[in-house]
Amino acid sequence: MDQPWWKRCVAYQIYPRSFCDSNGDGVGDLRGITSKLDYLASLGIGMVWLCPVYASPNDDNGYDISDYEAIQPDFGTLEDWIALRDGLHARGIRLVMDLVANHSSDEHAWFVESRTAKDSGKRDWYIWRPPAADGGPPNDWQSVFGGPAWEYDAATGEYYLHLFSKKQPDLNWESTAFRTELFAMMRRWVALGIDGFRMDVINLIAKPDGLGAGDNEGGMDRALNGPRMRDYLAEMRREVFAGTDLVTIGETPGMPLELAREITDERAPLLDMQFHFEHVDLDHAPGASKWDSTPMTMPALRATLSRWQDGMEPHGWNSLYLGNHDQPRAVSRYGDDGRYRRESATLLMTLLLTLKGTPFIYQGDEIGMANVAFDSITDYRDIETLNAWLWLTGTRGLDAASALAMIRKKSRDNARTPMQWSAAPNAGFSAAAPWIAPNPDYTGHNVAAAEADPDSVLHYTRRLIALRQGTPALRSGRYRLLDAEHPALWLYERTSEMGRCVVALNFSDTTQPLPPALAELPCLLTNHHNPAADTLAAWEARNLGPA
Ligand code: GLC
């Protein structure tokens, strides 16, 4: 059976603020992206996920939307967006937009109206509750970005819920009028020719029953995967996506594997695929904050991703990622961004592109972009990072150097420094000083240098995408782990009735013997110059046939 288009292609994620600035104001924009269409096409990708480009006061860089149908002026106009859409489509690349519908901006007209009076027509489009008996917040939920998840609003003497910043009030999916308007808005984007939505924290939309004063049991995790989530997603599918071939991609932190499999079951899907968070949560201890890093080990990563590979069989579907705009850079986190930067970046790209699911390459990972180490907190921009700084140096009482060390490891800004196009000033990203400073390593690590070097991560990524696209077993074959115990090698195969492929990854900086049965297989692609048949060099990644 033919697979749907979104199972067959490789996706590329664009964070527009940091991709390319066409008009010299230091902020990436739509025309900047359009100017790089041939570069995107040259990768061999089939889908772009565009992070939010809608009107926003930018408290959370566009994830706080004040008008779902207007383009953020910093990014351009609707005409610019149409030119981008057409340019992608002309190159056979689909365009997936971000849908941020768990919350809006507090500057959205809906919220402005909602907060005016308890009997406002849109009061119940958001989640308002009276104060607790002591006048404090209704319960003790803490927001993801730090501090209470409730904000008092003097105009009506009630609190509103915000799971993220206080400028991101949560929308109330229990309101039929809200859902009707939301779905109508989505249909208007569908009519504009988009190819799908990536849905921000979509498993937070169904809040638990009886939310309000004094229900402190269980904390905010109770907002995850709420009972009515299935109903809302089913209704959305009917109202917006029926009869289309658009893709729906959920961002679903804290969604258990069994539920993810059920929700993406191709026989009756509520979403076509989802991003889980288990592998990006491996480097902090359970219960500890994300800033309290513990080492990321290959065996833990292997166990987690293998569990999701097996667990989504036979009818579910994974979105695959090692980095995105919310995570540190993959090469710095799972690889070695020092001596083995090229080798480990290409190894990680091999992993991403040879697992079962739809791989998402985050902008810059195809040239091995690494974490930044800014000297001062004043160089950071992300609201989560800046709040964490206050918490680490305040409540936690850490000195500045210790707090900065923690932030350098985990800040979302690691992924948000400008795309490194060349060694020109500002990394070739902009004619002006960018909104966030580039990583100073851009002089050596950039697209222009990578184009000129046949061994670069970029050229290897292109070869790998071509291999995946030309090898049915890599696109749709079942995953099977070949050795669950090896301390350094991750060995797996992908098999379908169309063939078999073996992937051998050396997650260490020492040479490792390859099991004899694998040493006999022909090599389809390696990231190493002189591969030895029976060993894998430091951070070597080898794709073995027969295909
Ligand atoms: C998602 C986004 C993240 C944003 C948050 C709130 O996790 O990826 O960037 O801050 O939702 O919208």
The pLDDT value given to residue 426: 98
Residue 33 belongs to what H/E stretch?
A: helix 30-34
Q: Tens digits of per-residue pLDDT, 375-392?
A: 999 999 999 999 999 999
How does residue 67 score in pLDDT terms, banded at 50, 70 and 90? Answer: very high
**Is there a contact between 360 and 11 (Cβ–Cβ < 8 Å)?**
yes
Give the distance from CA 542 to its chain's centroid: 26
CA atoms within 13 A on the CB side of 401: 0
The pLDDT value given to residue 479: 98
The pLDDT value given to residue 285: 86
Concerning whether 29 is annotated as a catalytic residue, the answer is no
The pLDDT value given to residue 153: 98
Both tokens of 470, joined, read: 């030309």
Concerning whether 258 is annotated as a catalytic residue, the answer is no
Q: What is the dihedral of CA 83, 466, 276, 2, to 10 degrees?
A: 90
Atom of ligand 1 nearest to the CA of 412: 9
Q: Tens digits of per-residue pLDDT, 521-531?
A: 999 999 998 88
Q: How much is the mean pLDDT over the chain?
A: 96
The pLDDT value given to residue 547: 54
- 485: pLDDT strictly greater than 90: yes
Alpha helices in 296-428 (DSSP H): 298-311, 330-333, 341-354, 383-393, 400-410
Q: Is the CB of 201 under 6 A from ligand 1?
A: yes
489 Cα to the center of ligand 1, angstroms = 34
Q: Is the CB of 200 under 6 A from ligand 1?
A: yes
The pLDDT value given to residue 474: 96
- 86: pLDDT strictly greater than 90: yes
The stretch 483-512 carries a mean pLDDT of: 97
**Distances in Å between the alpha carbon of 110 and those of 134, 158, 178, 287, 341?**
30, 17, 9, 36, 48
Distance CA 399, CA 291 (A): 14
- 138: pLDDT strictly greater than 90: yes
Among residues of the chain, what percentage have pLDDT more than 70?
A: 99
Q: Whose CA is nearest to atom 9 of ligand 1?
A: 326
- 1: pLDDT strictly greater than 60: no
Both tokens of 473, joined, read: 């077993």
- 508: pLDDT strictly greater than 70: yes
Q: Is the CB of 362 under 6 A from ligand 1?
A: no
336 Cα to the center of ligand 1, angstroms = 27
- 374: pLDDT strictly greater than 90: yes
How does residue 439 score in pLDDT terms, banded at 50, 70 and 90? Answer: very high
470 Cα to the center of ligand 1, angstroms = 34
How does residue 214 score in pLDDT terms, banded at 50, 70 and 90? Answer: confident
Prediction pTM value: 0.98
250 Cα to the center of ligand 1, angstroms = 12
Of 538, 542, 541, which Cα lies nearest the Cα of 339?
A: 538
Q: Which of 115-124, 137-146, 232-241 has the lowest mean pLDDT?
A: 137-146
Q: Is the CB of 60 under 6 A from ligand 1?
A: yes
The pLDDT value given to residue 211: 86
Of 21, 170, 251, 326, the catalytic one is 251
Q: Tens digits of per-residue pLDDT, 269-297?
A: 999 999 999 999 999 988 899 999 999 99
Q: Tens digits of per-residue pLDDT, 311-340?
A: 999 999 999 999 999 999 999 999 999 999
**Omega before 16 within 30 of 0, i.e. cis:** no
Q: Which of 11-20, 231-240, 526-535 has the lowest mean pLDDT?
A: 526-535
The pLDDT value given to residue 215: 75
The stretch 398-409 carries a mean pLDDT of: 98
Q: How many residues in the chain?
A: 547
Among residues of the chain, what percentage have pLDDT more than 90?
A: 94
Atom of ligand 1 nearest to the CA of 64: 12
